[in-house]
A and B are shown apart, each in its own frame.
Chain A
Amino acid sequence: MFYINKINAAGKIAVDDTILVKDTPATAGSKMLENFKPLFSAEAVERLEKAGYEIAGKTNVGEFGLDLMGETSHFGAATVDGNLVGAAAALVAQGEIKAALNVDLNGAPRRAAAVSGVDFIKPTYGTVSRYGVIACACSGEQIGVTAANADDAAEILSVIAGHDDKDGTSLPAEKYEYTTDKDVSSMKVCILADLYDGLDSKVKERIDAFTEELRKDGVTVDTVSLDIVSQAQTAWQILMAAETTNNLSRFDGVKYGHRAAEYKNIDELYVKSRSEAMGFLTKATIIYGSDVLAKSKYEICYDKSLRIRRIVCDKVRELLKSYDAILTPACSKVEYKPYDVLDAFEKVYEESLYTAIPSITGMPAMVTKGVQLIADSFNESVLLSIAKSVEV
């Protein structure tokens, strides 16, 4: 299942169903919001429309965007040849649409781009307004762009980025101009040994091939170690789950969300409505998030994760003083089969090892040719230029 709502597809821009388009249903892939029609469009969508782009439709996503790449959608996973694909990335790969807006909260659009062989860029946190995103992990989630190439990604990102008064975390710059033509020949890129050693051979091959291309373009590629990779993974999982739990609590059947047909009292209304309308991964995330926010655990879980976030930021920034970008895999495999839903929580946790650093630091990341590049804040053009140099 690729579209939740196909409007005007060919050659246009699709929007993930976690992003609002006025008067068009926004389900976030959940039965919870099957009948939710927003009264307004997301700021990013408004900017696209104002710039003359047309919306192709609403693309299917995993429930609230929490999963690997869309397999937990209430409306069914998008697959190609029996493999999981992200709906938007697959449509871009098929050439059906020019680009798509996706919410990157735990790496789903990055993994989707990697398996479909297209580009996805997650810009610096705060550069694209989150107004109109069905929120989960507010401190790290960010709208990004899936596109067939770096030029298209830069074009669309330039349209949607810039300050928005309606988002309290929006950064002050009115506009950002992204380019793909920076000179890469003097750039330095590092591979994280922590995320390379022990990797699936097919993924290793992609990293190696990419490294080869970079060296041909004159880029220096080193291998380094960064000893906070798994801490970043755990800390982001805690922050993400806690914030998601809190944000999804509004879907209780009173004002928003599915309401159970029969209930004896308010508690039963809450329990039945949420039990009926949420999938396993969402429930597991909520249980985990409630637990880490409990008074008795706050200090050792949420608060500690905030401290780890700062340490990760410092260490990554330190490394990026010597390198223009970090090269890592975007995920552990080159293809994913549908799997038992009861394994979802563990699977997402395992994969978040590769995606957590940009999520927790808010730094920009780009997936291209099945690999991931990470740069320091506001250096999107470095990533886009490297991607472009490998493309041609």
Chain B
Amino acid sequence: MGRYVARRLLQMIPVFIGTTLIIFLMVHVLPGDPIRAMWGDKAADPAQVASLRHEFGLDQPLWKQYIDYMVDLFKGDFGKTFGGRPVSEEMGMAFPVTLRLAAVALTIEIIVGIGLGAWAGLKAGRAVDTGVLIFTLIVISMPVFVLGYLARFIFADELGWLPPNVQDSMDLQQLLLPGFVLAMLSMAYVARLTRTTFAENLRADYMRTALAKGLPRRRIVGVHLLRNSLIPVVTFLGTDVGALVGGAVVTEGIFNVQGVGNLLFKALGQREGSTIVGVVTIFVLVILVINLLVDLLYAVLDPRIRYA
């Protein structure tokens, strides 16, 4: 186990360096001069542009910019925005918002997704099962921006049940609508995964044993079936957390959520390399760590898997 973890951690190093380097190069390849663009439609003064480029280190060769950035990064310095504010401060404001939204989405995924899946699984082959199947297919078929605008139009504009925009991310009610939209796709997958494993495990030997022992149905379903069926669901949810933490550009954009997705989108528009690389760095780290945790969790939950 220890050796396995060590190997995985070592493997993260080239991935981490590779990702940041590629992002760095990509931002550089994009057309547009962030400094020049400060002047907008008006003419820019070349001498001032040159001086500002120097201040932000953009006049250095690219490899040096990258190395400087990485060295600073290891010192915990994410650089500064073109407005002169530390990137860490910007991220410090955006990540908690995205985390709150992710928590709302994840809760919906777990409750609705597992609930629907278990219901369908217990009634496998019957009308309920088909109903849930078709419902999940429809949800999966709707692109998130369609879903987002539709949900906002119906629940906020027409019915007025929920606020259409997130002005204060501490207000749970405001996060419900975007959280719901963000959760939908994964919720459908959780439902289907749960349904499949439920239906499968219903026929497993241990179920027959439990039934033969005369255990009450509530206990069989609640303890034996649920625990054994949730292993793949838990691992899926684990990886989904990784994706949710990365923020969601479309959903955050539609509902005015000031999270990581929005931050990244704006930074891209401004070619603000420091912010883009900073966000992606954190995101890559989160994904790598979560993946490791999920794989370890898998081994803990399923005794058949052993890591050497």
A and B interact: no
A residues whose Cβ falls under 8 Å from a Cβ of B: none
B residues whose Cβ falls under 8 Å from a Cβ of A: none
